[in-house]
């Protein structure tokens, strides 16, 4: 992923870190040479008395070169450090953007069924958290590679002088490594199990302070309830994290003490070797410094290895999300979508049950939707109307039976072509915080620059009057989420949503409760145009208002997930049955 984001930046970081990894041992060794040279100069039998005499004698030449070299290494280390930081900050942003785009692209391929599953929502939330900040893992890996090179160079010096110190070092550090690995795994599994609680925490926080919920929160006085709920959830998460942190701190202190004992045993050995004449003063400085740096590096590396292992568990959340495969896909050799549709759609004994549900949403559903026909779906809540529409648009595939289009199974056609030829506006349509033009253009986003088409779609849906009253017209930002946004009424939003169906200019138009938020006048105007504008198209209309559905060519009455009866408005009203009963109940309210 990182290589794909920017090969140049990644290579630059690795090369700079490789150079920087050799600087510490070089600096320490030059320091040893400086000390040894100073000791020799101090022991000269006839030492110059003034600085000028020292310079004239030439004794300071080698020392001067060493000091300049050490200064140059210090400057180089600083420049390299800043360069690496700059490069990896840029690379982190590139990686975060690239992984976020990849996540959105993959999410777009997944089934609606996935998004309606709570376990999948947890998985998606964990994956979303990993799209930002995961560059820290790569930076850590790069830093570890750099530290390994540095540690090897320090270790080489110790092996030359005192190989036994290396064994002592590892014995002191292994307990800390094992402890870190254990607690990193514990931390991940705690976070994994707490994903639903964290999602609920985020939901409560959003609900308590957002423009979408502000009215009801104020009217019902929900602030106290939501704040208390947030506090309880946050307190539970804090308590679990605190218990783990305390255990980690106690064991960490013990392991740190073991490491300190190992270090000071080695230090005693080096000091004794110097007193015994085995090491020079410069050797003492070099060995003590090398051991201290090597101990620090090894502690960091071992802790880093366990941290990387822990972060890899988190990173697996991202890649396991990428491994989720959609069930609804185009066949290997799809049929082209018929243009125009010749005979229409046939539902043959179709059954579908939502995952985890006990009751079938539809079952034994059989009917024909003829090409060019305007069909209305009527039924009480839960009768299966919206499920039928989702099956027709291949948002779901039937668990039983099949849906035919012009005599061929709908699953044999190209999936994108099926959805591209069906324009659906659901009753729970999305209110996009975009411009008025873009709110319509989402119906066919690749035609976003076609202002004529957007304007015609607005005219067809009666949304042009709404837009004419906006301060900036089609360029007006809609919604209150962003600066200068204008909020619309429910009916005005609905007109924009209906315009998306006309913007699509699809062969099949489906409106699910399209006038639920419209007043009587606006509803009459929408449906007067709807019948005219659907000429030559296949249309499905779902509505509880019988004044709306009566204009359909045929009305399908659904009950318990199957067809109860069908016919025109006049035919259904004239005979006893569910439709005439529901019609009379609604009509009674207007008498």
From 322, 355, 383, the end of a domain falls on 322
pLDDT band at 353 (very low <50, low <70, confident <90, very high): very high
CA 498 to CA 514: how far, in whole Å?
A: 7
Domain-embedded: residue 500: no
Does 275 lie in the same domain as 158? yes
Does 123 lie in the same domain as 49? yes
Q: Tell me which of 98 and 309 has the higher pLDDT.
A: 98
From 287, 322, 357, the end of a domain falls on 322
- Residue 29: per-residue pLDDT: 82
- Residue 136: per-residue pLDDT: 65
pLDDT higher than threshold 90 for residue 398: yes
**Total number of domains in the chain:** 2
Domain-embedded: residue 398: yes
From 322, 353, 371, the end of a domain falls on 322
pLDDT band at 518 (very low <50, low <70, confident <90, very high): low
Does 278 lie in the same domain as 359? no
Nearest to 137 by CA among 308, 15, 270, 271: 308
Nearest to 287 by CA among 268, 306, 270: 270
Tens digit of pLDDT for each residue in 424-452?
A: 887 778 888 889 999 999 888 888 899 99
Q: What mean pLDDT is predicted for residues 9-14?
A: 89
Residue in the structure block whose two tokens are 């600066």: 483
CA 573 to CA 575: how far, in whole Å?
A: 6
Return the SS3 of 452.
helix
Does 286 lie in the same domain as 365? no
Q: Tell me which of 487 and 299 has the higher pLDDT.
A: 487
Total Cβ atoms within 10 A of residue 71? 11
Query: Which runs of consecutive H residues, i.e. helices, occur in 517-575?
Result: 520-533, 546-549, 569-574
Tens digit of pLDDT for each residue in 216-245?
A: 666 667 777 778 888 888 888 888 888 877
pLDDT band at 409 (very low <50, low <70, confident <90, very high): very high
Total Cβ atoms within 10 A of residue 274? 18
Q: What percent of the chain has pLDDT over 90?
A: 15
Does 109 lie in the same domain as 60? yes
Domain-embedded: residue 48: yes
- DSSP lists the bridge partners of residue 351 as 400
Does 349 lie in the same domain as 281? no
Does 355 lie in the same domain as 255? no
Left, alpha or beta for 372 (phi > 0: left; psi -120 to 50: alpha)? left
Q: What percent of the chain has pLDDT over 70?
A: 79
Domain with residue 53: its CATH number is: 1.20.1560.10
Tens digit of pLDDT for each residue in 452-493?
A: 999 999 988 889 999 999 999 999 999 877 778 888 888 888
Domain-embedded: residue 96: yes
Residue 405 host element (H or E): strand 400-405
Does 48 lie in the same domain as 7? yes
Reading the block at residue 519, the tokens are 């007043």
Does 289 lie in the same domain as 171? yes
Strands (E), 324-361: 344-352
Domain with residue 519: its CATH number is: 3.40.50.300
Report which listed range, 208-212, 406-410, 560-564, is most confident.
406-410
Left, alpha or beta for 509 (phi > 0: left; psi -120 to 50: alpha)? beta
CA 476 to CA 352: how far, in whole Å?
A: 42
pTM across the whole model: 0.62
Reading the block at residue 304, the tokens are 């880093």
Q: Considering only 34-48, 195-209, 460-474, which range has the smallest mean pLDDT?
A: 195-209
Reading the block at residue 322, the tokens are 């990428």
Does 351 lie in the same domain as 207? no
Tens digit of pLDDT for each residue in 520-537?
A: 676 666 666 677 667 778
Mean pLDDT of the chain: 80
pLDDT higher than threshold 90 for residue 205: no
Q: 460, 499 in Cβ contact below 8 A?
A: yes
pLDDT band at 79 (very low <50, low <70, confident <90, very high): very high
Domain-embedded: residue 448: no
Does 268 lie in the same domain as 368? no
Domain-embedded: residue 202: yes
Query: Angle between the 223-275 and 164-193 helix axes, to the nearest 10 degrees?
Result: 170
Q: What mean pLDDT is predicted for residues 350-376?
A: 90
- DSSP lists the bridge partners of residue 10 as none
pLDDT higher than threshold 60 for residue 133: no
Peptide bond into 61 cis (omega under 30): no
Question: Is 383 exposed, middle or buried, given 0-12, 13-18 or 19+ CB atoms closer than 10 A?
Answer: buried
Domain range for 527: 343-421+512-591
Does 222 lie in the same domain as 101? yes
3-state secondary structure 274-317: HHCCCCCHHHHHHHHHHHHHHHHHHHHHHHHHHHHHHHHHHHHH
Reading the block at residue 71, the tokens are 């200064």
Domain-embedded: residue 379: yes
Reading the block at residue 279, the tokens are 């090491």
- Residue 161: per-residue pLDDT: 64
Domain-embedded: residue 226: yes
Q: How far is CA 329 from CA 245, 387, 414, 588, in A?
A: 46, 19, 8, 48
């Amino acid at each position: 992923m990182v290589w794909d984001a920017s090969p140049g930046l990644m290579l630059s970081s690795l090369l700079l870190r490789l150079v920087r990894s050799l600087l510490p041992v070089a600096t320490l060794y030059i320091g040893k040479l400086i000390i040894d040279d100073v000791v020799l100069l101090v022991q000269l039998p006839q030492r110059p008395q003034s600085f000028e005499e020292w310079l004239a004698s030439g004794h300071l030449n080698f020392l001067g070169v060493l000091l300049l070299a050490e200064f140059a290494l210090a400057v180089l280390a600083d420049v390299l450090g800043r360069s690496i930081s700059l490069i990896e900050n840029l690379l982190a942003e590139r990686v975060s953007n690239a992984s976020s785009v990849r996540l959105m692209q993959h999410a777009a391929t997944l089934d609606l069924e996935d998004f309606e599953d709570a376990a999948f929502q947890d998985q998606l939330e964990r994956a979303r958290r990993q799209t930002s900040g995961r560059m820290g893992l790569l930076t850590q890996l790069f830093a570890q590679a750099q530290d390994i090179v540095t540690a090897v160079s320090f270790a080489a010096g110790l092996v030359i002088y005192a190989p036994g110190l290396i064994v002592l070092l590892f014995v002191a550090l292994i307990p800390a490594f094992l402890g870190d690995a254990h607690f990193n795994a514990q931390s991940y599994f705690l976070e994994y199990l707490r994903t639903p609680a964290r999602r609920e925490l985020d939901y409560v926080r959003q609900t308590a302070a957002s423009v979408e919920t502000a009215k009801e929160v104020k009217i019902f006085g929900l602030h106290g309830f939501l704040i208390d709920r947030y506090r309880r959830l946050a307190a539970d998460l804090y308590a679990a994290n605190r218990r783990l942190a305390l255990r980690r701190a106690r064991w960490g202190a013990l392991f740190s003490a073991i490491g300190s004992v190992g270090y000071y045993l080695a230090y005693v050995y080096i000091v004794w070797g110097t007193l015994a004449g085995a090491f020079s003063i410069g050797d003492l400085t070099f060995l003590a410094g090398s051991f201290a740096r090597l101990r620090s590096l090894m502690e960091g590396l071992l802790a880093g290895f366990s941290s990387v292992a822990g972060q890899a568990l988190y990173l697996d959340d991202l890649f396991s999300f990428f491994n989720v495969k959609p069930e609804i896909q185009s066949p290997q050799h799809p049929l082209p979508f018929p243009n125009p549709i010749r005979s229409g759609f046939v539902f043959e004994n179709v059954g579908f049950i939502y995952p985890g549900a006990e009751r079938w949403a539809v079952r034994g559903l059989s009917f024909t939707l003829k090409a060019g026909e305007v069909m209305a779906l009527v039924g009480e809540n839960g009768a299966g109307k919206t499920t039928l529409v989702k099956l027709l648009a291949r948002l779901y595939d039937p668990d039983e039976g099949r849906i035919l289009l012009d005599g061929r199974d709908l699953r044999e056609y190209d999936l994108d072509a099926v959805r591209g030829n069906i324009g659906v506006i659901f009753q729970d349509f999305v209110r996009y915080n975009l411009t008025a033009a873009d709110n319509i253009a989402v119906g066919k986003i690749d035609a976003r620059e076609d202002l004529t088409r957007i304007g015609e779609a607005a005219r067809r849906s009666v949304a042009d009057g709404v837009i004419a009253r906006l301060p900036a017209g089609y360029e007006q930002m809609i919604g209150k989420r962003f600066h200068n946004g204008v909020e619309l009424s429910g009916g005005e939003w609905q007109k924009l949503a209906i315009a998306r169906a006309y913007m699509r200019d699809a062969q099949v138009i489906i409106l699910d409760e399209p006038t639920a938020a419209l007043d009587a006048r606006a509803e009459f105007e929408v449906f007067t145009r709807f019948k005219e504008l659907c000429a030559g198209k296949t249309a499905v209309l779902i509505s509880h208002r019988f004044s709306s559905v009566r204009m359909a060519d045929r009305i399908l009455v659904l009950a318990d997930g199957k067809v109860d009866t069908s016919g025109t408005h006049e035919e259904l009203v004239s005979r006893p049955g569910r439709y005439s009963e529901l019609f009379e109940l609604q009509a009674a309210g207007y008498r």
